[in-house]
Amino acid sequence: MSPQHQQRQCPSSDSTMKGDGGGREWRRRGPRGDCADDDDDDNHDDEAQASRRGRDDNHDDEAQASRHETHAPRRSSSSLPSQARRDAADLAALGHQQVLTRKFSTWSMLALAFTVLGTWTTCAQGLNNGLVNGGPVVILWGLVVVAVCNSCVALSLGELCSSMPTALGQAYWVARLADKAPGARLASYLCAWINTFGWWTLAASQIAFMSDFVLAMRLMFLDDAAAVASAPPGWLRFLVYLAITLVFTLFNLVACRREAVLPAFNNFIGVGFVALFLVFLVALPAAVAADSDLSFQRPSFVFAAWLNRTGWPDAVTWLLGLVQSAYGLTAFDSVIHMVEEIPAPRRNAPRTMYLAVVCGALSGFLFMLVCLFCIQDLERLLSPPSGFPFIEITQSTVGLDGAAALIALFIFNGLGQGISVLTSASRLTWSFARDGGIPFGPYFAHVDAKWKVPARALWLQAAIISLVGLLYLFANTVLQAILSVSTIALTMSYAMPILVVLVVGRDKMPPREFNLGRLGPPINAVSLVYCAVTTVFFFFPSQPNPRPGDMNFAIAVFGVMLVVALGFWVVQGRLTFLHTAEDVLYASDVGTASDLLPGQGAVAGRASDGGKHRTKPSAED
């Protein structure tokens, strides 16, 4: 059996997972999600010491080889923090070795999640969608609706993450909770593909926004006629898109060589996001107040104006206008896919996700409020020469020079945001490969010992993101298509495990630190209704009977992804994805949790295996 074919069983407890040749049977685990029946760390250590007795000198030889490959320093169990040992044991109980280090603090992870959401910046980038699909009513109150619904989604996923903290996230939970249902592994596989593709297209959308903003900077210095005539062709936008993709990938590759760099970078970008937010919040209204030629919009316009420039009925227009807010509050599952790199994930991951949504919603609402009050020429905003209403608002209030400086800082922050998006996406790509979902999974699950990062997964997603950019050569509405498909895919991946929880019952969830209790069912129900409604309407084109170049290609892109995923399932996925085997590493055989840390213990999985455990050690070990 290959190393990735696994089964977990706890002989001394009531927790088992049995392979049946095509699926798995899961049973209740201990309170920490591991295979112990009690919470007593001392008992765990006693069993660990007993398990280690009888191992001969070959143990040290193999541990030395593993340590050489992973570059992890050897530490005794007593020298390891108890939380690190528990985290490693938790991950082992879910089927994986701790390969990536838990280098992110709670604050640096919150900075990453807040940056990835980037609600106020993404709302600014997609302001044109909100203006034509309902106007200020949808921009402000639609954001409130989306914030409430996405808070429910974040709470629902946070509870699941607290019970099963693994980087594969939603797909793993579907498999775990619905294992006895027909087609459970296929549903989990499709969930993994949808989630991964959602992150690839989310990264593509951020790169596309930054590409267009970079090119729009030049148009700011031209008059309207020249700006329209100088609109960049598709091939130029595609080349800039490729260049930014390469820069993002290289930064993610290089930054992980020193463990402190990536968390420090996320802290820096997070602080930059807050600082620039405050600058815009003060600069725009101050400029309007200081210039007698400028004026604020009336409150009746800001809070109650309705604009429908789509041709759709008002109800459809309202739902289409939610794309702007939904895009700005989507991707909080970045925390889920980085969960193997933060300490105490059962406690910290749910809290970080929820706080990211709350902070994002508050910043987005305040920023949109300021932008709407500072609008000077609405008609010009609906057809901006630069292509971005936000640039026009900034330029009309603070002037050309001030706008150029602010937009340059905005682009700098957006580039930092894109790097964080690729970081999260690469961890999901890696975990999907690690669990046998991607063709050549063991190859792409490799964690490079030199770079300390899943480098092959990074380059794979860079290639796929580059292919998504080819849409620039065929459509006039590239941003709308990529933005829609990323929001749709991520929303669907959120809905699938929540639906499974509602169907199989909350009692099937493993023990968890974060428990919604009686509020769970209504919160889950609100989440599911929101995901279902928005998924359907986000496939709609921007107007009825669109021309071929103005179609919403989201449904075509999403359909191609599903066909490819089903093809891979038939060829390989049904044989390799989350498959079990007869002889595996049992958690109770590992010894102390320190044996599960990189390079520690003869039974530890190697970094080159992507953190998969080896089969159960032989008597010689």
| pLDDT tens-place string over residues 78-120 | 445 687 778 788 788 887 777 777 778 888 889 889 999 989 9
Phi/psi region, residue 35 (left: phi>0; alpha: psi -120 to 50; beta: rest), is alpha
Domain assignment of residue 331, yes or no: yes
Residues 6+ apart with CB under 8 A from 414: 118, 121, 125, 206, 209, 210, 213
d(CA 207, CA 421): 10
Judge if 460 and 591 occupy the same domain. no
Q: What's the confidence (pLDDT) of residue 218?
A: 84
Residue-number span of the structural domain to which 588 is assigned: 8-96+580-609
**Taking a C-beta distance cutoff of 8 angstroms, is the pair 203, 421 a contact?**
yes
d(CA 430, CA 32): 24
Judge if 80 and 127 occupy the same domain. no
**Taking a C-beta distance cutoff of 8 angstroms, is the pair 381, 375 a contact?**
yes
Judge if 267 and 222 occupy the same domain. yes
d(CA 609, CA 613): 8
Sign of CA dihedral 104, 108, 110, 114: negative
Judge if 596 and 569 occupy the same domain. no
Judge if 571 and 587 occupy the same domain. no
CA-based end-to-end distance of the chain: 18
Residues 6+ apart with CB under 8 A from 9: 15, 16, 17, 18, 35, 584, 586
Q: Which of 35, 36, 17, 34 is nearest to 26 (CA)?
A: 17
Domain assignment of residue 614, yes or no: no
3-state SS, 75-132, equals CCHHHCCHHHHHHHHHHHHCCECCCCCCCCCHHHHHHHHHHHHCHHHHHHHCHHHHHH
Name the phi and psi angles at 580, rounded to 5: -110, 165
pLDDT tens per residue, range 134-169: 999 999 999 999 999 999 999 999 999 999 998 888
Q: For the sheet containing 24-26, what is the strand order?
A: 8-9, 16-19, 24-26
Structure tokens belonging to residue 359: 């902070």
Angle value at C-alpha 166, between 162 and 168, nearest 5 degrees: 125
CATH number at residue 568: 1.20.1740.10
Judge if 221 and 346 occupy the same domain. yes
Judge if 64 and 121 occupy the same domain. no
Which ranges of the chain have pLDDT less than 70?
1-81, 224-225, 227-229, 474-479, 549-550, 579-621
- Greatest Cα pair distance in the chain: 86
Instruction: Enter the DSSP assignment of 167.
Output: T
H helix or E strand, kind and range, residue 134: strand 133-134
3-state SS, 466-480, equals HHHHHHHHCCCCHHH
Domain assignment of residue 615, yes or no: no
Domain assignment of residue 454, yes or no: yes
Judge if 406 and 527 occupy the same domain. yes
Q: What's the confidence (pLDDT) of residue 530?
A: 95
Domain assignment of residue 3, yes or no: no
Judge if 515 and 431 occupy the same domain. yes
Q: What's the confidence (pLDDT) of residue 586?
A: 34
Domain assignment of residue 621, yes or no: no
Domain assignment of residue 231, yes or no: yes
Q: Which of 295, 299, 296 is nearest to 137 (CA)?
A: 299
Q: Which amino acid is it at 393? A: I
Q: Which of 608, 429, 595, 591 is nearest to 54 (CA)?
A: 591
Tally the domains of the chain: 2
Q: What's the confidence (pLDDT) of residue 580?
A: 44
C-alpha distance from residue 277 to each of 48, 113, 416 (Å): 51, 16, 15
Name the phi and psi angles at 614, rounded to 5: -80, 170
Q: What three-state secondary structure class fits 19?
A: strand
Judge if 388 and 373 occupy the same domain. yes
Q: How far is CA 52 from the centre of its chain?
A: 39
Residues 6+ apart with CB under 8 A from 404: 217, 220, 221
C-alpha distance from residue 450 to each of 66, 144, 416, 437 (Å): 14, 46, 24, 25
Judge if 519 and 535 occupy the same domain. yes
Domain assignment of residue 271, yes or no: yes
Where are any strands of DSSP class E within 429-481?
none
C-alpha distance from residue 546 to each of 403, 538, 549 (Å): 34, 15, 8
Judge if 571 and 584 occupy the same domain. no
Q: What's the confidence (pLDDT) of residue 229?
A: 67
d(CA 308, CA 294): 26
Phi/psi region, residue 413 (left: phi>0; alpha: psi -120 to 50; beta: rest), is alpha
**Taking a C-beta distance cutoff of 8 angstroms, is the pair 267, 107 a contact?**
yes
Q: How far is CA 611 from the centre of its chain?
A: 20
H helix or E strand, kind and range, residue 18: strand 16-19
